[in-house]
């Protein structure tokens, strides 16, 4: 066989290999940094949410959704993180309880104060902010004409006039923006340690429906990635991402190996709106403030 013939054979082999490589899945270990074998340091509660309780509790708890009160979408427990936790802290402080409002974390001190509030108002002192406790807080706020605390997000510097995302690691909150306008906020779970979820100005790199995870195929209830994956442009886009979960009770906690977990319904909504190239800013509250996202 001549030299030219050998070259043609080699070129053919290279070309075929490239075609096969392009056809093969390039994400055999999607979310490679997420192991899902870590044991949470907290207990996840499986109980009814505020929303589930309201339909049967309107008469028993008339201040639960009363105008001028705080509205919660979930019961609040020890070690949860969120803007709703801060709202309750601010409300308790306004009512007269000695509680710090410098953190979004439902810590042991908050649990102690919630239990004291419950005891003071003849409630079950379980340290959980459920429908009865929220009803009592709202009753005091409304009857004393106190303004219910809120958490506002103000953007002075938006990366685009279109859709974009900011993830506040201090409050475990993902905010969808359009320009400087807040479209919707979602609770998320982030890294068990602050360094695990990488801070920075990233972009959506890829979108996957029913992502597979190691030996678990996509689109099944036991898949820890849920049903949607929004990969970030860190590495090849299959290391860190925003995704669903098979344990929605973990949302609102610091538990992941670095990815951002969302409730499946929430990530599905987000997936339908954002596109590849959508900016995603990730940072703690101090960092986001320096970038032009002020929370107050």
CATH number at 208 reads 2.40.440.10
Which of these three, 125, 143, 161, is where a domain ends? 143
Whether residue 209 contacts residue 3, with contact meaning beta carbons closer than 8 Å, is answered with no
Asked whether residue 90 falls in the same domain as residue 177, the answer is no
Which residue, chain included where needed, has tokens 């390039």? 26
In a domain, 77, yes or no: yes
Asked whether residue 98 falls in the same domain as residue 165, the answer is no
Asked whether residue 201 falls in the same domain as residue 183, the answer is yes
Cα–Cα distance, 103 to 169 (Å, whole number): 11
Asked whether residue 66 falls in the same domain as residue 98, the answer is yes
In a domain, 223, yes or no: yes
Angle at 199 between CA 196 and CA 204, to 5 degrees: 100
Nearest CA among 23, 281, 54 for reference residue 169 = 281
243, 267, 271, 274: the catalytic one is 243
Q: Identify the domain containing residue 208 by its residue range.
A: 153-295
Helices and strands counted in the chain (H then E): 7, 12
Per-residue pLDDT tens for 76-121? 999 999 999 999 999 999 999 999 999 999 999 999 999 999 999 9
Asked whether residue 197 falls in the same domain as residue 138, the answer is no
Asked whether residue 227 falls in the same domain as residue 160, the answer is yes
Asked whether residue 287 falls in the same domain as residue 255, the answer is yes
In a domain, 259, yes or no: yes
Tens digit of pLDDT at every position of the chain (296 positions): 565 565 555 556 555 555 444 444 455 567 777 766 544 444 445 455 555 444 545 668 899 888 999 999 889 999 999 999 999 999 999 999 999 999 999 999 999 999 999 999 999 999 999 999 999 999 999 999 999 999 999 999 999 999 999 999 999 999 999 999 999 999 999 999 989 999 999 999 999 999 988 888 888 998 899 999 999 999 888 899 999 998 888 899 999 989 999 999 999 999 999 999 999 999 999 999 999 999 98
Asked whether residue 236 falls in the same domain as residue 164, the answer is yes
In a domain, 97, yes or no: yes
Asked whether residue 67 falls in the same domain as residue 97, the answer is yes
Angle at 85 between CA 83 and CA 88, to 5 degrees: 115
Q: What total of structural domains would you count in the chain?
A: 2
Nearest CA among 174, 200, 205, 179 for reference residue 277 = 205
In a domain, 279, yes or no: yes
In a domain, 246, yes or no: yes
Which of these three, 143, 162, 188, is where a domain ends? 143
In a domain, 240, yes or no: yes
204, 259, 267, 295: the catalytic one is 259
Looking only at the bridges linking them, the beta strands covering 228-232 and 241-243 are antiparallel
In a domain, 236, yes or no: yes
DSSP symbol at 205: E
Asked whether residue 124 falls in the same domain as residue 228, the answer is no
Spatial CB neighbours of 265, under 8 Å, sequence gap ≥ 6: none
Which of these three, 110, 143, 176, is where a domain ends? 143
Tell me the two tokens of residue 120: 């003071």
- CB hemisphere CA count around 60 (13 angstroms): 9
Task: Give me the CATH number covering residue 115.
Answer: 1.10.101.10
Asked whether residue 165 falls in the same domain as residue 218, the answer is yes
Cα–Cα distance, 61 to 63 (Å, whole number): 6
Residue 121 bears catalytic tag:
no
Asked whether residue 217 falls in the same domain as residue 108, the answer is no
């Amino acid at each position: 066989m001549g030299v030219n013939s050998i070259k043609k054979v080699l070129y053919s082999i290279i070309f075929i290999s490239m075609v096969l490589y392009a056809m093969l899945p390039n994400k055999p270990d999607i979310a490679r940094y997420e192991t899902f074998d870590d044991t949470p340091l907290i207990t996840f509660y499986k109980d009814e949410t505020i929303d589930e309780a309201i339909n049967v509790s309107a008469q028993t708890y008339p201040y639960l959704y009363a105008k001028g009160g705080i509205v919660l979408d979930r019961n609040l427990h020890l070690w949860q993180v969120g803007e709703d936790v801060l709202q309750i802290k601010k409300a308790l402080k306004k009512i007269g309880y000695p509680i710090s409002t410098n953190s979004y974390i439902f810590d042991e001190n908050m649990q102690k104060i919630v239990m004291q509030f419950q005891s003071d108002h003849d409630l079950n002192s379980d340290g959980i902010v459920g429908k009865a406790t929220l009803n009592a807080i709202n009753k005091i706020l409304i009857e004393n004409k106190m303004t219910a605390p809120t958490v506002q997000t103000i953007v002075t510097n938006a990366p685009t006039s279109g859709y974009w995302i900011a993830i506040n690691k201090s409050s475990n909150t993902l905010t969808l923006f359009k320009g400087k306008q807040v479209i919707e906020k979602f609770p998320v779970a982030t890294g068990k340690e602050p360094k695990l979820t990488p801070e920075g100005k990233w972009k959506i790199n890829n979108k996957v429906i029913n992502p597979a995870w190691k030996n678990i195929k996509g689109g099944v209830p036991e898949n820890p990635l849920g049903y949607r994956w929004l990969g970030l442009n860190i590495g090849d886009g299959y290391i860190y991402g925003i995704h669903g979960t098979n344990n929605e009770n973990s949302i609102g906690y610091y538990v992941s190996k670095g990815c951002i977990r969302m409730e499946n319904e929430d990530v599905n909504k987000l997936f339908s709106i954002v596109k590849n190239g959508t900016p995603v800013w990730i940072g703690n509250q101090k960092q986001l403030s320096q970038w032009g996202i002020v929370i107050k």
